[in-house]
Amino acid sequence: MADVAREAGVSISTVSHVLNATRAVSPETRQRVVDAMAATNFRRNVLATALVTSRTHAIGLSISALQNPYFANLVHSIEKRASARGYSLVMGDSHDDEEVEGALLGTLLDRRVDGMIIAPAPHSETANLPRVLNDGTPVVLIDRHADVECDQIAPDNVEPTRLISSHLVELGHSYIAAVTGLPAIQSTEERIQGFEAAIAQGGPGVKSTMVRGNSKAKEAYRAVRRLFSGTSHRPTALVVLNNAMTIGSMQALKDLGLRVPGDVALTCYDDFEWADVFEPQLTAIEQDVKAMGHTAVDLLIDRIDGKAGPRKVLRTKTIYHHRNSCGCTN
């Protein structure tokens, strides 16, 4: 900074004000400082700044299944918003594993991130989240709620799942199966609630079964193959409760020689970027990933900046795309 100050012909404090936007500086002086930074190849010492300000301007992100297009899009939304607000992102994949998540959160704490955005793994609310919250680090939960005291944002799960399940009941299906996600996480439990509510509304003439796909394509593939391999009393409709499992389920039906929707009607939670060019086109629930990611970052930075108030537990809206995998004319 002293080199920059000499080059620009200003004081070190003026260089600091330009770097940190702590005081108004005339446009001419600011430009001299910027030019001097370029001439001296100046780079801010982030570690030194963090020691002085107790801020790293870094947000930690713990999220699962980064290979899943939904989570990849969510990470993109978070990173874009964080960058726009002057924060960098330090992230890792929890693999939805309690021990992996615990180690990851410990690493993020060691790196002194200013706050964390977490998609909690199963059992996180008892195993890992208390440690982070007791440390005093601001936290926002994303995609999944948990019974802890911090800001949270997740999609509506119950009603959208009830909607796509009820639609199959209304079309006359009397035996409907659901492929469910990873147990012990809020989104799975709520989507099961939505499915069960639709079946109950259908009355005693509507039967159902659930198979576990654990939120993964390969496990959904195996579960659906087992479900439809028998020749008697097979479901005529399928509700799949995330996009990775939809891929596995459709591949299993194809390998069994079953057509969608001719032999098996299908609806799913989570839309794909290319769902409307699929054949059949998927009747699906789309999440507002952009709103979720941006809101999570804004909530977290508010807490980092010391803004008080009761915790916020928010739900983002979803969009119902009625296409033809359910058996309707598109």
Q: Specify if 324 maps to a domain.
A: no
Q: Specify if 112 maps to a domain.
A: yes
| Same domain assignment for residues 186 and 268 | yes
Which residue, 167, 190, 170, 188, is CA-closest to 179?
Answer: 188
Length of the chain equals: 330
Q: Specify if 92 maps to a domain.
A: yes
| Same domain assignment for residues 236 and 167 | yes
Our count of domains for the chain comes to 3
* The token pair that represents 41 in the structure block: 């190849």
Taking the C-alpha atoms of residue 179 and residue 193, their distance in angstroms, rounded to an integer, is: 13
Which residue, 103, 149, 143, is CA-closest to 125?
Answer: 149
Distances, alpha carbon 215 to alpha carbons 102, 132, 182, 203, 275, in Å: 21, 26, 5, 29, 18
| Same domain assignment for residues 251 and 261 | yes
Taking the C-alpha atoms of residue 181 and residue 187, their distance in angstroms, rounded to an integer, is: 8
Q: Which domain holds residue 36?
A: 2-44
| Same domain assignment for residues 280 and 165 | yes
**Amino acid, single-letter form, for residue 38:** A
Cβ distance 91 to 307 under 8 Å?
no
Q: Specify if 326 maps to a domain.
A: no
What is the structure's pLDDT at 58?
A: 93
| Same domain assignment for residues 220 and 116 | no
Name the more confident of 272 and 330.
272
User: Is 307 strand, coil or helix?
Assistant: coil
Average pLDDT of 197-219? Answer: 95
What is the structure's pLDDT at 272?
A: 77
| Same domain assignment for residues 109 and 166 | no
Average pLDDT of 266-287? Answer: 86
| Same domain assignment for residues 281 and 135 | no
pLDDT higher than 80, residue 20? no
Q: What sections of the chain are H helices per DSSP?
A: 2-8, 12-20, 27-39, 46-53, 69-84, 98-110, 124-127, 129-135, 158-170, 186-202, 217-229, 243-255, 289-304
Q: Name the band, by pLDDT with cuts 50, 70 and 90, for residue 45.
A: low
pLDDT higher than 80, residue 77? yes
Cβ distance 87 to 57 under 8 Å?
yes
Q: Specify if 226 maps to a domain.
A: yes
Q: Specify if 323 maps to a domain.
A: no
The string of DSSP letters for 196-231 reads HHHHHHH-TT-EEEEEE-TT-HHHHHHHHHHHHHSS
Backbone angles phi, psi at 259, to 5 degrees: -95, 140
Residue 25 sits in a domain whose CATH number is 1.10.260.40
Write the DSSP symbol of residue 282: P
| Same domain assignment for residues 305 and 274 | no
Q: pTM for this structure?
A: 0.82
Taking the C-alpha atoms of residue 112 and residue 50, their distance in angstroms, rounded to an integer, is: 9
Average pLDDT of 113-141? Answer: 94
89-120 pLDDT tens trace: 999 999 999 999 999 999 999 988 999 999 99
pLDDT higher than 90, residue 282? yes
| Same domain assignment for residues 165 and 215 | yes
Q: Specify if 327 maps to a domain.
A: no
The mean predicted confidence, pLDDT, of the chain is 91
Burial classification of residue 281, based on how many CB atoms lie within 10 Å of its CB (0-12 exposed, 13-18 middle, 19 or more buried): middle
170-186 pLDDT tens trace: 999 999 999 999 998 99
54-74 pLDDT tens trace: 667 899 999 986 677 788 889
* The token pair that represents 226 in the structure block: 């087992």
Which residue, 145, 110, 167, is CA-closest to 285?
Answer: 167
Taking the C-alpha atoms of residue 129 and residue 121, their distance in angstroms, rounded to an integer, is: 10
Q: Name the band, by pLDDT with cuts 50, 70 and 90, for residue 52.
A: low
Q: Specify if 172 maps to a domain.
A: yes
Q: Name the band, by pLDDT with cuts 50, 70 and 90, for residue 50.
A: low
